[in-house]
Amino acid sequence: MLKRNCRTAVKKTKTIPKQLAPEAPREFNPWPAMPSPEVRAKAVQGILISHDRLDIEATALAELERLLKYRDEGFVNLLIVTIIESDSNENALVAPVIEAVNSVMTRRPAWTEKGSEWLEAFDQLPPLLNLIEDMRALDLFRETSIGNYLGMILENKLKKHFEASKGQSNS
């Protein structure tokens, strides 16, 4: 058996002098610049003013401002229009509904690109606040997860609509 000298098993590495080392970028940020909380708050207020919706819950307002961290004002505007302009949902601008509609819009962007068909599909859904009341009455969901599960429900119901319209357009 050969014995190895532990000194020879370790390779010596040379360090590069600082003068020759490439300079690392100073402030690398892989994410686009996010607006400050103040800018997001003003943007949300502007959108809500344009729809005459100034009196909404603080949690809903915070959810809309959070969305503006990652989405543009057009996305948030479409989300609000989708909710308040659909049948029987003019007062459904609450945090769980905002979270649910955001989830569907994010997961299925092709649906939102269909314009008026997207809005008409929401007209065919049951009132969103009624769905939330039913979910709460079942006592199966934590309050913090209702928006997530409502998003799944909406996606499943809307999927039926968009698959049916896709089948008709292929005929």
The string of pLDDT tens digits covering residues 34-44 is 788 899 999 99
pLDDT at 99: 97
**Diameter of the chain by CA atoms?**
86
| Span 82-133, pLDDT tens digits | 999 999 999 999 999 999 999 999 999 999 999 999 999 999 999 999 999 9
Q: Which residue has the higher pLDDT, 127 or 9?
A: 127
Average confidence (pLDDT) over 40-64: 94
How many CB atoms neighbour CB 162 within 10 A?
16
52 pLDDT more than 80: yes
> Contact, 147 vs 96, CB < 8 A?
yes
